Structure 1
Amino acid sequence: MTPPVICIDGPSGSGKGTLCQMLALKLGWHLLDSGALYRLVGMAADKHQVDFTDEQAVAALAADLDVAFLPGQAGEPSRVMLEGVDVSGELRTETTGLLASKVAVLPAVRQALLQRQRDFVQAPGLVADGRDMGTVVFPDSPLKVFLTASAEERARRRYKQLKDKGDSVNLATLLKEIQDRDRRDSEREHSPLKPADDAVLIDSSSLGVEQVFERVLTEVSARFSAS
């Protein structure tokens, strides 16, 4: 039988990453951060000096991407390994974001990554973090969660995160960026951000991380009690 997949979809800042890491650790399952894949393809193409205008070459790189997502222990961020090297810090830089934007517009790369994401399914199971995990990548998943929060709350969380790092940020600017991104994600032609028809909807605006985690664990127990 195919190992089970738990899909956690939702907008940026809703708490998906933290929730997925907690679930993967609790269950002992594998982890997929789908949002990081385009950044990783961009990094790999840059490292191997692949021409970004050569769509098929970049797609071939994406199809065989050597990547692993390792959940950290409680309170620690997950680690991302590219070709055996920890690239967790480099992954979130502005430079890597620009590389990601170059490869994300290539249809052949999007198709290659669709299959690459499905290849992450291994025993005993997979926790998949993204925006279209339940609607496009794993539509047969027995548990799909759509985790959201108000744009205002997500902006506040991001503001605190950046301030704690010592960055100079403006809350109103962050809010507008989040609202604009939400609009783009929900209105895009391919894989728009939306909950699957059978997804469990959770609004985390007024919930703590542990409350969300316990709610999802209840859903996990209901569906996987036999295992």
Structure 2
Amino acid sequence: MGKIIIAIDGFSSTGKSTLAKQIAKHLGYVYVDTGAMYRAVALYAMQNNYIGTDFFDKEKLINSLPSIRLHFVFNSELGFAEMYLNDVNVETKIRTLEVSSFVSAVAAISEVRSKLVEQQQEMGAAKGIVMDGRDIGTVVFPKAELKIFMTAGADTRAQRRFDELQAKGDLVSYEEVLKNVVERDYIDTHRDDSPLVIADDAVEIDNSYLDRKEQFDVVLELVNEAINTL
């Protein structure tokens, strides 16, 4: 049976990664969390004092890009690949609200996007891959056999993200999370380079009222249709 590229785009906190992991595991495909790659670059910028609440030295970050090495390492206990930044596991560090508050600004830099898009395209050269992000179906793999665009109301997404952070023990308020979600939506949809848009041939799924199983079943049917048309 032939393999396809499955591109999953959408707004923050719509469960793209959760869905992508489910589909990849079911199909035996490679899963790539492109959001983790951008988060890792944001973390690097934070660690090197290139970015903060009231400053962002974009030139220093751009000049440091050759020194940023990203790769995924599969964790058999967790069942998914974790993000490594310069050979250090940063999977937990990149999931904080602080990193979330800077990642969209970092991802808006054309030089950052060019570096990561090139790596992402290399990862999918052999197909058999599920990749989620903001511009997978429009920029990274415009010829992907299946494109999904995930959406949900900002309040719903903020509540999901808040619950997730609370479960990890992070001391954050719902208002902080909602503010972050709204700000990221604005930056993602208004940036000059590869803004978040729905590809013309993408299937839009509003999962505001879908649980994980219902969402998985809907997308798996689309996957099977795409594979059967090869």
Category of TM-score, reference length = shorter chain: 0.7 to 0.9
- For the residue of structure 2 that corresponds to 1:17, the secondary structure is helix
Provide Cα deviations, 1:163-202, integer angstroms capped at 9, x if missing partner.
Answer: 2223333323322321222122112221111110110110
Aligned partners of 1:43, 1:180: CA distance in 2, in Å? 18
Aligned partners of 2:146, 2:120: CA distance in 1, in Å? 17
CA contact under 8 A between 2:108 and 2:192: conserved in structure 1?
no
CA contact under 8 A between 1:3 and 1:121: conserved in structure 2?
no
TM-score, normalised by the number of residues in structure 1: 0.80
Q: Specify which of 178, 184, 188 is matched with residue 185 of structure 1.
A: 188
Stretch of structure 1 that moved more, 185-194 or 87-96 = 87-96
- For the residue of structure 1 that corresponds to 2:72, the secondary structure is strand
Aligned partners of 2:23, 2:213: CA distance in 1, in Å? 11
Q: CA deviation at 1:223?
A: 0.8
Q: CA deviation at 1:40?
A: 3.0
Q: Specify which of 54, 60, 64 is matched with residue 66 of structure 2.
A: 60
* Structure 2: tracts of 5 or more residues without a match: 49-56
Stretch of structure 1 that moved more, 4-13 or 79-88 = 79-88
Aligned partners of 2:124, 2:159: CA distance in 1, in Å? 34
Residues 206, 167 of structure 1: CA spacing in aligned structure 2 closer, same or farther, 3 A cutoff?
same
Residue 27, structure 1, aligned to residue 33, structure 2: no
Residues 73, 197 of structure 1: CA spacing in aligned structure 2 closer, same or farther, 3 A cutoff?
farther
Q: Specify which of 208, 212, 217 is matched with residue 211 of structure 2.
A: 208
CA contact under 8 A between 2:39 and 2:100: conserved in structure 1?
yes
Provide Cα deviations, 1:69-100, integer angstroms capped at 9, x if missing partner.
Answer: 537678x6652244555331233357766996
Residue 141, structure 1, aligned to residue 147, structure 2: no
Residue 66 of structure 2 aligns with an amino acid whose one-letter code is A
Q: CA deviation at 1:207?
A: 0.2
Number of aligned residues: 223
Stretch of structure 1 that moved more, 93-102 or 160-169 = 93-102
Identical amino acids, percent of aligned pairs? 37
Alignment of 1:83-162 (within 5 A): 85-93=88-96, 104=107, 106-123=109-126, 125-162=128-165
Residue 212 of structure 1 aligns with an amino acid whose one-letter code is Q
Residues 196, 101 of structure 1: CA spacing in aligned structure 2 closer, same or farther, 3 A cutoff?
closer
Provide Cα deviations, 1:28-81, integer angstroms capped at 9, x if missing partner.
Answer: 111111112233346678999xx984567534345xx3502537678x665224
Q: CA deviation at 1:122?
A: 4.7
Aligned partners of 2:46, 2:9: CA distance in 1, in Å? 29
In the other structure, the counterpart of 1:70 is 74
TM-score, normalised by the number of residues in structure 2: 0.79
Residue 74 of structure 2 aligns with an amino acid whose one-letter code is L
Q: CA deviation at 1:3?
A: 5.8
Stretch of structure 1 that moved more, 98-107 or 198-207 = 98-107
Give the CA RMSD over aligned residues: 3.4
Q: Specify which of 189, 194, 197 is matched with residue 197 of structure 2.
A: 194
- For the residue of structure 2 that corresponds to 1:88, the secondary structure is coil
* Structure 1: tracts of 5 or more residues without a match: none
CA contact under 8 A between 2:5 and 2:130: conserved in structure 1?
yes
